[in-house]
Structure 1
Amino acid sequence: MAAALAAGPGRPAPALKARRRRQALVTLAFLAPWLIGFAVFFAYPLLSTVYFSFMKYDGFRPPVFTGAANWRYVFAHYPLFWPALRNTLWLVAVMVSARVVFGLGVGLLITKIKTGAGFFRTAFYLPYLAPPVAATMAFAFLLNPGTGPVNHLLGDLGLPQPGWFNDPSWSKPALTMLALWGIGDLMVIFMAALLDVPKEQYEAAELDGAGPWQRFRYVTLPVISPIVLFAVVTGVIQTMQYYTQPIVAGKVASGIIGNSGQAFEPGYPDHSTLTLPQLVYNLGFQRFDTGSACVIALVLFAIAMAFTALLMRRRGGLFQAGE
């Protein structure tokens, strides 16, 4: 008490200041692993990417400052940037939406199955475990317009036979079908969320005369909305990094895969499967234009952050309109 009075009004006692300092140091010690990881694996790479975006650098000679030359080249003179941007945004809008709706539908369906639910859970989850390269190659052979069994079956049924990965208008829908085939991750997440919805709320809604759609709209969706938001945000981030499947599908469809020594420009057919991550690899590791690759990487980062911020800002009203 005497030490506190001696410190004067509004001024903490030395013992209190020392205790706060110790608490701050303990907190910092617990945060240190995360802070170190954040600095090494996020802050430093991000700042380096910004730095090299203003440099001419091929990975061998010292970087040379060129101002905004790389930015002007990518946005005004690089012919593949805008097709890749359009394809990436198309995949974000269509593929993410389709995966969320399909994953939620499959999860809802399996939770309603009384017998054989374990079999269907396993059957829908197993494709997710397939390696992306193997799964894409299998899909490319199944959807081969000339020899694939899918088009043979469609022909036997008298239906149109698309070109799939060999047709610019069908290549992105074919990639979306591949993404829906590996829906097991979202199915499991949505099943866990659906099983966590209180049954009392369903019973109360049913007593009030709510039908199946009303119960889903006003009971299920509000409860699982955080999980839906999580699925959308992570889906957007993953799709902004979409690289393996489109480039493997393009190689298989063009006949390049398996033939060593052949040059391959990503995006077959007609740049319809070209994505921004492919441009980052092509510019940075095949053409050794690190500065332009960093520009596209920063564009990817900015778009992903913008989508995430928009979704997080609107999270409270995603499923409330019309109530």
Structure 2
Amino acid sequence: MVSPWLVGFVVFLAGPMIASLYFSFTDYALLTPPVWTGLDNYIRMFTADPVFWKVLGNTTYYTVISVGVSTIVSIALAALLNKPLAGMRIYRTIVYLPALVPLVASAMLFAWVLAPDAGLINRALGVLGITGPDWLREEAWVIPALILLSLWGVGTGVVLLLASMRGVPKELLEAAVIDGANPRQRFFQIVLPMLSPVILFNVVMGLIGSFQVFGQVYILTGGGPNNASQMLVPYLFEEGFKNYRMGYASGLSWVLFAVIMICTAIAFRTSSRWVFYETEVR
């Protein structure tokens, strides 16, 4: 009964992973047999490829800011959507709907929103007397533009946080009210700690997804201008399928895997300091 899953795992996941690890130590151009070169790909990556360091910096910058801002926005929206107001179901649906929109459609929508002349953001800034930048063509603004696009899909995280928020025991909040705690104190001292396991989940999934960002870059900027928006996954895609350096692309993929594993391990390692579980005794 387990064999269909095992076959799929070996053929489509474990097998390709092992093959890519082998290819990362070879000079492999897809159309010719791989030639073993040892650590040459990794040596070139860390010592002779300036684009790699720029791409790694871009990806780290995008990941740190997008995950941090998305987490804060998700918590704020969940807190607002937890208010007992009329029509709240409609508001919750509106917040979640963008997460259902296909990535290509979202990217094309933001290409219009971020347009330098007719874009909604620059037109709104123009009303305030501010000249908006050319978001997708200026090196300083292209990654902030991609971060804005990442906020479009916070609905999934908001739903998880909202479900956890509604599960906070009312007895704790009532006891805090009796003790004289104001709304801000109740939120930061009771509600937020109770949300911390879900926040950890959102942060870890956000880290994994942000380091693997591809579609937004491929559709909106193609890595430009001057590699200012190039990320690791589009870069290894370009090396492997455009430049036919599959061995080097395999090495990039394993470096990406190592970076994601390290960041995830750090998140779990530090979670004991800020994640609270209801059944945990300290």
Task: Name the TM-score class by shorter chain.
Answer: over 0.9
Say what the alpha-carbon RMSD is for the aligned residues: 1.9
Matched, 1:306 2:277: no
- For the 8 Å contact 1:221–1:319, the answer to whether it is kept is no
Q: Give the TM-score, by structure 2 length.
A: 0.92
Structure 1 partner of 2:190: 219
* Residues 153-178 of structure 1: CA deviation (Å, up to 9, x unaligned): 31122123122112111111111111
The alpha-carbon deviation at position 43 of structure 1 amounts to 3.0
Which of 101, 105, 110 aligns to 2:76? It is: 105
Structure 1 partner of 2:279: none
Where 2:85 maps in the other structure, the secondary structure is coil
Structure 2 partner of 1:61: 32
Where 2:136 maps in the other structure, the secondary structure is helix
Paired residues for 1:21-170 under 5 Å: 37-170=8-141
- For the 8 Å contact 1:141–1:148, the answer to whether it is kept is yes
Which of 179, 194, 205 aligns to 1:234? It is: 205
What residue identity is the alignment partner of 1:98? V
Counterpart-to-counterpart distance in 2, 1:294 and 1:118: 46
Q: Which has the larger radius of gyration?
A: 1
Percent identity, aligned pairs only, is 38
Structure 1 partner of 2:280: none
Counterpart-to-counterpart distance in 2, 1:307 and 1:169: 25
Which of 214, 218, 223 aligns to 1:267? It is: 223
Q: Mark the CA change 1:216 to 1:118 in structure 2 (over 3 Å): closer, same or farther.
A: same
What residue identity is the alignment partner of 1:300? L
Q: Mark the CA change 1:307 to 1:136 in structure 2 (over 3 Å): closer, same or farther.
A: same
Query: How many corresponding residue pairs?
Result: 277
Q: Mark the CA change 1:317 to 1:36 in structure 2 (over 3 Å): closer, same or farther.
A: farther
Structure 2 partner of 1:297: 253
Structure 1 partner of 2:174: 203
- For the 8 Å contact 2:27–2:247, the answer to whether it is kept is yes
Q: Mark the CA change 1:198 to 1:41 in structure 2 (over 3 Å): closer, same or farther.
A: farther
- For the 8 Å contact 2:103–2:215, the answer to whether it is kept is yes
Counterpart-to-counterpart distance in 1, 2:177 and 2:62: 38
- For the 8 Å contact 2:62–2:210, the answer to whether it is kept is yes
Q: Which moved more, 1:87-96 or 1:34-43?
A: 34-43
Counterpart-to-counterpart distance in 1, 2:85 and 2:205: 31
Counterpart-to-counterpart distance in 2, 1:60 and 1:270: 29
Counterpart-to-counterpart distance in 2, 1:319 and 1:225: 5
> Structure 2: where are the runs of 5+ without partners?
277-282
Q: Give the TM-score, by structure 1 length.
A: 0.81
Structure 2 partner of 1:318: 274
